[in-house]
């Protein structure tokens, strides 16, 4: 073989060694991933979620719905009271406008006389 042949043979050997190292590293990563997946306990995760859901449901069932009904009644009463107050303020506003008009009329009469 000539020098080119030896150089190509050395390059080929280096490429094969590099490919073997890459394959080995990839195999090790796959093994670690497989080991990690095997160690995951899906049943434990599902049980933990199930326990959390049961706890939340239990906490919700402990709340008294009559409190919500009382709040609804309070809102309805307050809404009615606000409407009544608005009517009262409208009547006061109307009376103030009437008083203002009367004062203007008195001022006009005093200017005329």
* Range scoring the smallest mean pLDDT among 4-8, 30-34, 59-63: 59-63
Structure tokens at 51: 């326990």
- Quote the distance between the C-alpha of residue 11 and its chain's center: 58
Give the span between the Cα atoms of 52 and 15, in whole angstroms. Answer: 55
Each residue's pLDDT tens digit, 60-103: 777 776 777 777 888 888 888 888 888 989 899 888 888 888 88
This prediction's pTM: 0.36
Please give the Cα distance from 77 to 79 (Å, whole number).
Answer: 5
> Per-residue confidence at 113, pLDDT binned at 50, 70, 90?
low
Long-range contacts of 67-76 (CB under 8 A, 24+ apart): none
Instruction: Please state, in angstroms and rounded to a whole number, the distance separating the CA atoms of residues 70 and 76.
Output: 10
Distance between CA atoms of residues 16 and 6, nearest Å: 15
Give backbone dihedrals phi and psi of 99, rounded to 5 degrees, phi first: -65, -40
DSSP letter, residue 113: -
């Amino acid at each position: 073989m000539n020098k080119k042949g030896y150089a190509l043979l050395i390059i080929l050997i280096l490429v094969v060694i590099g490919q073997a190292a890459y394959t080995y590293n990839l195999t090790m990563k796959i093994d670690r991933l497989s080991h990690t997946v095997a160690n995951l306990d899906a049943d434990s995760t599902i049980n933990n979620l199930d326990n959390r859901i049961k706890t939340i449901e239990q906490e919700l069932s402990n709340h008294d719905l009559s409190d919500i009904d009382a709040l609804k009644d309070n809102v309805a009463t307050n809404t009615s009271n606000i409407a009544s107050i608005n009517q009262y303020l409208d009547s006061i506003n109307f009376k103030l406008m009437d008083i203002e008009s009367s004062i203007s009329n008195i001022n006009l009469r005093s200017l005329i006389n």
